[in-house]
Every structure is written in structure tokens, then in C-alpha cells.
């Protein structure tokens, strides 16, 4: 099929929830880049404007996902340890014995969610590797060029991940891949969170870029010391 036909197949079949092998093949074609590149860019802009309209989400969305996901992971692991070693003690209830098979497969998937949403928030905080010690020695023009390059690289990264993980998600859906240790919990339910996390990251990239351009026009400081766990 042509690239345009594949693109139409991707959009219409995904919205209709009608996924079969031909749709998976369309996702594997170059048409996927033509579909998900604008989705990432425009989706990021939409996220940016939502954050502007709802500051509460701007400050707490990713952090809340990270914190609560971490708590769930910790509880599953803690319960699994008790269920595995508790029967060695006479006071441990026999009904609680026996570690569930999914207790070792769901936490890694939850960790994936925690990691990528946390990555999106840290893009906003600018706590990733950026060599600020060198950049602060540049003039304002050199700094805005470096920050613009950051935005281009991060956005390219977002487009690549959204496109490739969308392919993985659709393939998982089409093959009915079940989370090991469960009866009917599907892997795609976890995998689909990755493209959404990187669309949120694209929104953070737009947010940083617009902020940098505004500061540059006003002659304000462009590069400041980043603080891990800081505030937006």
C-alpha cells in the first residue's frame, strides 16, 4: 500500500479499535512517522496549553503518577516478601502463604511507567545532563542556541519513542500478549502509557522553549542551576 493509504489505515483503524495484521503492517511502514510526528508535536502543544490553563496539573501530574506508582510497587514487593518467607514463622497466617505469580512481573511494568513520567517532569526541571558549567560561560545568544538545540533533540527523542512504542503497543494488542502470571491482564495496557508519557514530555519541551525565548527577549538569565526534586 502507499504511504497515504497506510496513514489512513493507522488513523481510522486505531480510532475504531479494529486492529489486525494489516494494521500492524501499516504501523511498521514509514507512514507511522507521518502520523505520529504531528501527533507528538500537536499533542505536546495541547499539553502545554492545558498546563497553562490548569497550573495544578503543571505542578503535580507527573509527580503524582511517579509517587503513587512507586507506592504500589513497594506494597506489591513488601507483600510478596511476606508471603514468600512468612510461612517460616509459626505466627504467620496460613491463608496468606503463597506468593502470587504476578508479583514479579507487574512491578517492572509499573517501574517503566514511573521512570518515563518522571523523565517527563525532569525535562521541565532541566535536571538531565546539559553541561551548564560550560553553557553559563556563553553569551545570551550562545545560550539560547544551546537551549534551542536541547529542544530539537528532546522533541526528536519524543517523536522516535512515541512512534516506535506505538508500534510495539499495537503488536502486543494484536498478539493478545498477557502479563505473565495473570489470566487476562494485557501487556498493551501498560505499554500504551509510554507514548502518552512522551507526549507529556513534548509538552514540557514546548514549555521550556517558550520560556527560554521569553527570557531571551527580556534579557533575563537563561540558564540557572537545576535542582533535582525542585519545583516548576
Cβ-in-10-Å burial (0-12, 13-18, 19+) of 184 comes to exposed
Q: Is 51 among the domain residues?
A: yes
91: pLDDT strictly greater than 80: no
Domain assignment of residue 179, yes or no: yes
Q: Is residue 230 part of a domain?
A: no
- Bridge partners of 186? 178
Helices 193-218 and 31-53 pack at an angle, to 10 degrees, of 60
- Is residue 80 a contact partner of residue 103, using CB atoms and an 8 Å limit? yes
> Which one, of 123, 122, 115, lies nearest residue 150 by Cα?
123
pLDDT tens per residue across span 13-60: 888 888 888 888 999 999 999 999 999 999 999 999 999 999 999 999
Distance CA 161, CA 150 (A): 16
Contact 194/116 with Cβ under 8 angstroms?
yes
Per-residue confidence band for 165, with pLDDT thresholds at 50, 70 and 90: very high
What is the rounded distance in angstroms from the CA atom of residue 77 to the CA atom of residue 73? 6
Give domain status of residue 223, yes or no.
no
Is the dihedral angle over the CA atoms 177, 180, 181, 185 positive or is it negative?
negative
Give residue 137's pLDDT.
80
pTM for this model (two decimals): 0.89
Q: Which domain holds residue 148?
A: 3-218
Distance CA 120, CA 110 (A): 16
Nearest to 59, CA basis, from 204, 175, 209: 204
Domain count, the chain: 1
Mean pLDDT, residues 71-87 = 83
**Any domain includes 34:** yes
Q: 92 falls in which pLDDT band (50, 70, 90)?
A: low
Evaluate whether residue 133 is within a structural domain.
yes
Question: Is 199 inside a domain boundary?
Answer: yes
In a domain, 84, yes or no: yes
Amino acid at each position: 500500500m502507499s504511504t497515504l493509504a497506510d496513514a489512513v489505515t493507522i488513523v481510522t483503524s486505531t480510532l475504531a479499535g479494529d486492529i489486525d495484521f494489516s494494521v500492524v503492517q501499516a504501523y511498521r511502514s514509514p507512514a507511522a512517522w507521518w502520523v505520529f510526528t504531528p501527533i507528538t508535536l500537536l499533542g505536546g502543544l495541547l499539553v502545554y496549553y492545558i498546563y497553562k490553563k490548569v497550573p495544578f496539573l503543571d505542578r503535580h501530574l507527573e509527580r503524582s503518577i511517579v509517587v503513587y506508582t512507586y507506592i504500589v510497587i513497594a506494597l506489591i514487593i513488601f507483600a510478596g516478601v511476606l508471603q514468600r518467607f512468612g510461612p517460616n514463622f509459626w505466627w504467620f497466617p496460613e491463608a496468606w502463604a503463597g506468593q502470587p505469580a504476578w508479583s514479579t512481573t507487574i512491578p517492572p511494568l509499573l517501574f517503566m511507567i514511573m521512570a518515563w513520567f518522571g523523565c517527563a517532569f525532569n525535562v521541565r526541571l532541566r535536571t538531565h545532563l546539559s553541561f551548564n558549567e560550560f553553557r553559563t560561560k556563553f553569551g545570551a545568544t550562545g545560550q539560547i542556541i544551546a537551549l534551542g538545540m536541547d529542544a530539537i533533540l528532546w522533541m526528536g527523542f519524543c517523536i522516535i519513542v512515541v512512534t516506535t512504542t506505538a508500534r510495539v503497543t499495537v503488536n502486543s494488542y494484536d498478539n493478545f500478549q498477557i502479563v505473565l502470571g495473570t489470566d487476562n491482564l494485557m501487556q498493551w495496557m501498560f505499554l500504551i502509557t509510554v507514548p502518552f508519557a512522551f507526549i507529556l514530555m513534548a509538552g514540557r519541551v514546548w514549555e521550556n522553549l517558550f520560556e527560554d525565548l521569553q527570557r531571551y527577549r527580556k534579557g533575563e538569565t537563561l540558564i540557572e542551576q537545576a535542582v533535582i526534586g525542585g519545583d516548576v
